[in-house]
Every structure is written in structure tokens, then in C-alpha cells.
Chain A
Amino acid sequence: MASHDEQTTGREGVRRTVTRTLVVLAGMFAFAFALVPLYDVFCEVTGLNGKTSNSAQMLVHEEVDTSRMVTVQFITRASAGLPWELDVQTRQVRVHPGQSNEVSFTFRNRGDDASEARAVPSVSPSEASVHLRKLSCFCFQEQRLEGGERLEAPLVFQLTRDLPADIKTVTLVYTLYPVQPAQAAVSPRRPIKEGDSA
């Protein structure tokens, strides 16, 4: 630097720049974490990630739309490392929008010890998730089953009439997850297919 004056103004400027960039840095770090609740709120409002409500909803009293039928399919998946089975009474039902329906699911613990699990739902297409109202669902809470125990649990749901007309099929997937990861840990390494040798 040529003179003392310039040196000090240069240093002032550097200090100012550094302070400002640090503020931006802190802001962006906070923003990354803020995106988590923002994402949830965004998805809840738009139903974009196919998540349904986590608590019971009221039945919307409206006339049943008998002019069209929607196919509702059920898929159940057990989790790796959890000796449970989840079955559904029927693979698919045809329903009218507005009508309330009940489907029975069966949980079975094939293991010898008691364990806890939770069925996590997902709806496809995701646009349908805001139109799917669950009046009662086993997925609202964890299930605990003794070794060999069997449990029948109902799902009561309604597809509201404002379901877009182009949706003809709604698929509901329930995936079982162990509740205490330590107790029923998912194996840390996935099995590997080794071509012909396996």
C-alpha cells in the first residue's frame, strides 16, 4: 500500500467485507435447517410428497359422487430386519368419491420376542394425498406385538369429491419400520448380488 491512509481504508474495507460475508454464511447455514420445516409445510399444503395426515380427520359430509368410481390399491411392505408381516384384506377396492370405506389390515409378529413397529403411509399420485382423508388408521400410532401375536386393525378413509377427475387410481403404500432402531436394527450393509456365484 502506498500510504497509511490507503492502508487503513483498505483494511476497513476488508473488515467490512468479511463481516458481511460471515453474516451471509450464518444466514445460509440457518436457511438449510429452515428448509426442513419449510419443506414439511410446503408438502402438507400441496401434498406433493404423498404424505397423509398423521392424525384422524373428520368425515366431510357430502353427497356421494356416484357418477364415477376410483380404484384404491393397497400395497404393504415389511421392513428389513423386522420379523413382521403386514397383510391387507383386499388388494384393491373400487369406491365412489365422498363415500367412507373400511379396509382391514393384519399385523403379525413372526418373531419370538415382542417388538414395536409403525406403518408409514405414502400416497401416489401425490396430488391425491390432500383428498384422502383418514378417519381412523393404525398408522397414527406404533403397534406393539408380542412374539407370534396377530392384530387386526382397520383403516377408515374417504376420498373427497373434489378429487381431480383425471385421477382414476390411488395407491396407498404402507411400509413397516421398526420403532427402536437399536432393537431391530436394519443391517448396516446391504446384501450384495454377486452375479452367478450367488
Chain B
Amino acid sequence: MASHLPPKPTPQHSTATAGGMAEAGHARPGGLMRWLLTTNHKEIGSLYLIFSLTMFFIGGIFALVVRAELFQPGLQLVQPEFFNQMTTMHGLIMVFGAIMPAFVGLANWMVPLQIGAPDMALPRLNNFSFWLLPVAFTLLLSTLLMPGGGPNFGWTFYAPLSTTYAPPSTTFFILSLHIAGISSILGAINIIATILNLRAPGMRMMDMPLFVWTWLITAFLLIAVMPVLAGVITMMLMDINFGTSFFNAAGGGDPVLFQHLFWFFGHPEVYIMILPAFGIVSAIIPTFSRKRLFGYASMVYATAAIAILSFLVWAHHMFVVGLPLVAELFFMYTTMLIAVPTGVKVFNWVATMFRGSISFEPPMLFALAFVVQFTVGGFSGLMLAISPADFQYHDTYFVVAHFHYVLVPGALFAILAGAYYWLPKWTGHYPHLRLSQWHFWLSVIGVNLTFFPMHFSGLAGMPRRIPDYALQFADFNVASSLGAFLFGVSQLLFVLVIIKCVRGGEKAPAKAWEGAEDLEWSVPSPAPLHTFETPPDFHPHRQH
């Protein structure tokens, strides 16, 4: 890449040095090499977060192309071919490039700080799993420029759309997904190894903050399902290039098998994108309610229950594929069962706030919006779980409204809440209050203006993934498109807040928020490069 590289420095294992002022003792490479070779969990965490923010904007631009085209019925801006590539790439980038790496970034930063560990258990692997991501997504984005265009079969890449009828670039898509998958798996191994082995002396499993718990369970989900995804795309690769017929009916295969395999991965995957969000919100709500989290143990068990149930519900994505009645009923009931542990969580958050001394700093605003809006998404999920009703809702904008409610004001708002919550720890400065509030309110209005009308256009019968639509959906789509642009533009405020916060602002003390209790608030703000080289004295403050 660069020709002026300094002589190769030996990458320093950041746990290897002793003493508090370790920074001075390292022969640290500067410039680009510092970031390329870093094994420090904080630096890698920042890299992950910056990467996911970049991907968030790229995926967001794709979404705005879609929304601009859908502003009016008829074809105005893009061809249907390109429209399909935009919907597909938007989904892939947001799921694999924005939401997942953002959570891994937060885990990198916060898990060692919250359990009193000096770093992640496998720092070099950590570096590797981050640097796989830019490779994977450069490859994925480059398919847009290839002859025949990029992936155009939806983020669920159902065979035979993604095999027999796929553009030639699909092999590159498969490769990029493999690389991203390996990155996720390595990240998950690292997080599990860190949480199980590097906790501060005296910290039992049931003393861990919920963000750590939810990430541990998420990492197990990743270990369980990412190999299945790898298997599915390997089968696709072989169907496309080596003449096998896993999903090809002509050769004795079965396209429905693809859907079973994909959703066996895909459903746990959607929980991978929401469980860490539960953890973040479970840290923020007690802090700004100035009360201990209500029902800590039930939170842990509910998270585990959701993770286990996620393996038993996959076919609710396939209600119209021609399942036998028994299967329709089984998957309907198991899906509805998930509402129970999820309900426990929402109840606990509300109970935490009950008679608390609540203040509405930016992290709390986003966390509160999360609780309300995620529940809206949960309810539409329950509606979709009703198998006979799903025959009407399937593949309409109602589904789009549902999963965007759980992913945008759900997962994304939790990430934003986490960023606002921990920015003082990362930068040493509080985020600019006014700008943060503007960002919050514009985001909430934008999100609801975008996705709430989709419930109605979906129930009225507007199909997903179609660049043109019947006239009666026009008004709903005008609202959705305006909301999308409002939401998209207001995210620039977030970038502004971060830049201002890194550069300066009101100084934050070690314990930046009055009600914050976890270990990360015992180290100075900004957190020095090396923390907890001597394990902290841990005294469980929760009595349960």
C-alpha cells in the first residue's frame, strides 16, 4: 500500500508489559502501521466502530436510492435491475457491515473494561478479525462494478435466484460473505475466551454486567450458526461452479432446502443483532434511573431462553412455501413463545424505571426510544407469527416495517445509545448536549415517518422489493421517502457530535454518569491505552 513504511516493528502484545505507564515503554509504530498492527482492544474497538459507521452511511445511501425511486409510482431514477442490487446491497451491508461490526466494536472496547481484563484474550486474532472486514466489504462493493452487476437477489439470496439466475459476480459475493463470516467467528471465539477466562478475581458469572452476558450468549449463537451460513454459501458455490445440485430441482436438489438452511442460520442471526442491544439498554436504563437493574437473573435467563428458542422458529419465514399443517402450527407456537422472555425483558426495563430518579441525557433518550419502538416491532412480529395471517402479510411492506422497527429504532438506537453512553469514557469529553438532542429527535421522527406508513402500505398489499407500485400506495410512499431522507441527513449530526466530542467539549470525570456502577467507570476518562494490568478489586454491588 504505502511505500514509506517504517522498518517492521515487532507487534507488541499489549498485555506483555507490566506497570501502569505502559504506553511510554512501547516502541509503537506510528501512522498507518499503528492501526494496521495494533493489538490493543481499545484501538481495535475504535476501528470496528469507525468501519461500521462508514458502512452505515454506504448502506444508507443505497437505501436512499431505493426510497428516491419509490417516491413516486413508475420508474424515474434507476432501472429495476439496479434497484434490485440496491435493495440487496442495502440489506447485506447493514446486516453484515454496519450492525454486526458495531456490536463487535462495542464488545472490544467495553467487555475487557467491564470485566476488569487487561485486553482481549487473543489480541492478534482480534487484529486479524478486524482487518478481514475491509477486505470482505471492498470485495462485496466491487461486485457493483462488475459486468452483470452485483447481487440482485435480496439479502436472503434464495436459490435458484442466487444460483441458476444469478449474475456472474455471485462467486465474489460468496467469497466476501465467507471472509466476513470468518471475521465474525474469530471475533466470537475471542469474546468467549475473554469472558470465560479473564474476569477480575471475584467476579462470578452472575456478577457480570448484562452487556457482557448478552455478548457471551451472542458469541455462542455466532459459533453455532456462522458455520451453517458458510455451509450454505459453499453449497451455492458448488452449484454455480462445480455442477452440483444441492438446490437445483433438475438435478434432484430442492430449492426449499436452501430456505431451511438459510433460515436455520438467519433466525439466530437476527437475535445476534438484537441481544447485545438488550445488554446496552440494560446498562443505560439503571444508570439514568439511579436504581439497580430490576430482575438481573431473569434478564440473564430470558436472554438464554431467547437464544435457545431462536433455533426452533426458523420456518416462520417460510409459512407460504408449502409447509404441512403440523409444521405451520409448530413454528407458529414456538415463535409466539419468544414473546414471553422478550416480555420479561421489557417488563424489567420498565420496572427498573419505576419510582427511579430518571434524567434524560442523550443515552437515556435513545434507550427509552429503544424500549418503546422495539416493542412496536415485537408486536408486528407477533402478528407475522400468526401463520394464517402471514399468508396475507408475507413479502409485503408489513414485513419491511416489522424488521426495520426491530433493527433501526431497535438495534441501531441501542448502538447509538451505547455510543453516547460510552463516548465520555472513550474521548474524555461529554457529547455536545444540544446537538445530541437534535440528533435524537430528528432520528425518532425520521424513523417513524419512514417505517410507520409501511405497516399500512403492506397491509394494503404493496409487495417488497418492487421498484414500481400501484397508484393507491403513492401517499404512504411519499411519507416513507421523506422520512428516510430526514433520517439519513440527521445521521450526519451524529458524525458532527463524534468529531466535536473527540476534539473537545466538557471534560468527563472517571465516573461520567452519576448512577453508573460498572467497572469501566473506575478507570480514568478517557480510558488510557492500557487498563487493568493489575486486576481490580471487584466487589459485587448487586445483591440478588
Residues of chain A whose beta carbon lies under 8 Å from any beta carbon of chain B? 1-2, 10, 13-14, 17-18, 21-22, 24-26, 28-29, 31-33, 35-36, 39-40, 43, 46, 48-51, 54, 79, 118, 120, 122, 124, 126-127, 175, 177-179, 181, 186, 188-190, 192-195
Q: What sequence of 0s and 1s flags, for each residue 203-239 of chain B, a beta carbon within 8 Å of any chain A beta carbon?
A: 0000000000000000000011111101110010000
CB distance from B428 to the nearest CB of A (A): 27
CB of A108 to closest CB in B, whole Å? 19
Are B227 and A29 touching (Cβ within 8 A)?
yes
Residue from the list B166, B250, B261, B327 in contact with A120, Cβ < 8 A: B250
B409 at the interface (CB under 8 A from A): no
Complexed CA–CA distance, A33 and B235 (Å): 8
From B166, B224, B246, contact of A24 by CB (8 A): B224
Interface residues of B, Cβ cutoff 8 Å to A: 15, 74-75, 79-81, 118, 121-122, 148, 164-168, 185, 188-189, 192-193, 196-198, 223-228, 230-232, 235, 243, 246, 249-252, 254, 256-257, 260-261, 264, 322-324, 327, 468, 534-535
Question: With contacts A127-B324, A186-B165 known, is A39 near B254, CB below 8 A?
Answer: yes
Q: A24-B224, A31-B227, A177-B251 are in contact. List 17 more A-B contacts (CB 8 A).
A: A2-B535, A17-B197, A21-B192, A26-B227, A29-B227, A32-B227, A32-B228, A35-B257, A35-B261, A51-B254, A175-B249, A179-B250, A186-B164, A188-B168, A189-B148, A190-B165, A192-B81
CB–CB A14/B121 < 8 A? yes
Are B534 and A188 touching (Cβ within 8 A)?
Answer: no
Most chain A CB within a 10 A radius of its CB, from B74, B122, B254: B254
**How far apart are A65's CB and chain B's nearest CB, in angstroms?**
24
**Quick one: closest B residue to A13, CB to CB?**
B197
Query: B15, B118, B193, B256 — which one has the most chain A CB atoms within 10 A of its CB?
Result: B193
CB <8 Å contact, B75 and A14: no
Q: How far is the CA of A36 from the CA of B235 in the complex (A)?
A: 10
Chain A residues near B231: list those with CB within 8 A. Answer: 29, 31-33
Structural contact, B164 and A28, CB atoms closer than 8 A: no
A48 to B243, CA, bound (A): 26
Residues of B within 8 A of A28 (CB): 223-228
Quick check: A194 and B80 within 8 Å, CB to CB? yes
A53 to B525, CA, bound (A): 69
Tell me which residues across on chain A come within 8 A of B251, comparing CB atoms: 177
B324 near A48: Cβ-Cβ < 8 Å: yes
A residues less than 8 Å from B327 (CB atoms): 48
15 residue pairs from A and B, CB less than 8 Å apart: A2-B535, A10-B197, A10-B198, A13-B193, A17-B121, A17-B189, A17-B192, A18-B189, A21-B189, A21-B192, A28-B224, A33-B235, A48-B327, A50-B322, A188-B168
What separation, in Å, do the CA atoms of A190 and B192 have in the docked complex? Answer: 45
**B243: which A residues are within 8 A, CB to CB?**
181
Q: How far is the CB of A3 from chain B (nearest CB, A)?
A: 10
List the A residue with the shortest CB-CB distance to B161.
A190
Tell me the nearest residue of chain B to A21, going by C-beta.
B189
Q: Are B260 and A35 in contact (CB under 8 A)?
A: yes
- Candidates A17, A124, A175, A192; contact of B196 at CB < 8 Å: A17
Pick the residue among A21, A31, A177 that contacts B223 (CB under 8 A): A21
Complex contact A18–B122 (CB within 8 A): yes
